Amino acid sequence: MGIAPEIAESTAEERRAYIRQRFPCIADCDMCGLCKVFRGKDAETAYKEYIDGEKSFLEVSAYYR
């Protein structure tokens, strides 16, 4: 997995695809734990501001650390 696409150099669909690849839902919350990390949200919802181009990937990630 490469680095997150920069907002200025990517489309919302490219950023959404990156989030889907980076944080795939395996439909087994006991094994995965991503929903817990994202406070009950799926990755696309948690990274909506990044996908929409409002905040960088690092800004959103820092919120969930």
Q: Which pLDDT value is given to residue 53? A: 98
Contact call for residues 6 and 55 (beta carbons, < 8 A): no
Q: What is the pLDDT of residues 12-57, one digit of tens each?
A: 999 999 999 999 887 776 767 777 888 888 899 999 999 999 999 9
Q: Which pLDDT value is given to residue 44? A: 94
Rounding to the nearest 10 degrees, give the CA dihedral for residues 14, 10, 48, 44. 20
Spatial separation of the C-alpha atoms in residues 62 and 6, rounded to whole Å: 16
Q: Read off the pTM.
A: 0.86
Whether 1 has a pLDDT exceeding 90, the answer reads no
Q: List Cβ<8 Å contacts ≥24 apart for 45-50.
A: 47/15, 47/19, 47/23, 50/4, 50/7, 50/15, 50/19
Q: Which pLDDT value is given to residue 50? A: 98
